[in-house]
Amino acid sequence: MKISLLQTDIVWSDPKANCDHIDSLVASMPQSDVYVLPEMFSTGFATNPEGVAERDEFTLSWMKSFASKHDAAICGSVAVQTDDGYRNRFYFVEPDGKVTFYDKRHLFSYGGEHKRYTRGEKRVVVEFRGVRILLQVCYDLRFPVFSRNHKDYDAIFYVANWPVARLEVWKTLLHARALENQCYVVGVNRCGTDPACEYSGGTMLIDAYGRNVAECAYGKEDSLTADLDLEKLASFRAKFPVLDDAD
């Protein structure tokens, strides 16, 4: 599977501007099977969702159109207003219009996210073109029990707005999740600034050996396209069956 990771700057609370910008970036990128965007890629990380979170599904509609146009899946999280509250919702949208979503379970209490958003309860794995993917959002990265591999996925996708002040934590935990779960790990983080924080990226693809397959430049918009090699992953798991001994 070929995947593209987009480390974007985000215009605050302007879904159309952000979606148009992604369209322009992808126009000059190689064709991929999956395009991965940051957390709340269409608005920025809004802990106060009133007036920012979407109810009209503008961004989701754009994602469906994008997936159909490019014959590829597109994924990233969006702040949405639902009948049962606000959600930080990670959408995975396929070319045929199928939508799978995961609502962020571990809300960032340090930043007050838990005060306005409703946390998700379900762990979500989506399968697309033969690859099984666990969907996770930002702060979820700090909680390894929730993301434990029960031999039911091949890759974890983490989408984030992870501040520059804790960038070393981001990098360390991404590598740990790859090693302990014997899987690919995709980490897509934004760059730029919002009203509260500065972000420098750190977007990368890590293999099951804990090695960086590819990474974006720090401190600026960037993107990368790389392959997930399932045959190589299966061979490593068969040779060194760590998951057979898991608690």
What's the pTM value of the predicted model, to 2 decimals? 0.98
Instruction: Out of 19, 64, 75, 138, pick the active-site residue.
Output: 138
168 as an active site residue: the answer is no
pLDDT for res 122: 97
pLDDT for res 158: 99
Other CB atoms within 10 A of residue 148 CB = 16
* Residues 6+ away with beta carbon under 8 Å from 55: 80, 81
39 as an active site residue: the answer is yes
* Per-residue tokens: 38: 């940051």
pLDDT for res 128: 98
Instruction: Out of 64, 75, 104, 113, pick the active-site residue.
Output: 104
Which pLDDT tens digits describe the chain residue by residue (247 residues)? 999 999 999 999 999 999 999 999 999 999 999 999 999 999 999 999 999 999 989 999 999 999 999 999 999 999 999 999 999 999 999 999 999 999 999 999 999 999 999 999 999 999 999 999 999 999 999 999 999 999 999 999 999 999 999 999 999 999 999 999 999 999 999 999 999 999 999 999 999 999 999 999 999 999 999 999 999 999 999 999 999 999 9
pLDDT for res 156: 99
pLDDT for res 138: 98
Pseudo-torsion of CA 109, 113, 115, 120, nearest 10°? -90
138 as an active site residue: the answer is yes
Instruction: Out of 39, 54, 113, 215, pick the active-site residue.
Output: 39
pLDDT for res 220: 98
pLDDT for res 233: 98
User: What does the DSSP assignment read for the chain?
Assistant: -EEEEEE----TT-HHHHHHHHHHHHTTSPP-SEEE--TTTTT---SS-TTTSBSS-HHHHHHHHHHHHHTSEEEEEEEEEETTEEEEEEEEE-TTS-EEEEE-SS--GGGTHHHHBPPP----EEEETTEEEEEEEGGGGG-TTTT---S--SEEEEEE---GGGHHHHHHHHHHHHHHHTSEEEEEE-EEE-SS-EEE---EEE-TTS-EEEEPPTTS-EEEEEE--HHHHHHHHHHS-GGGG--
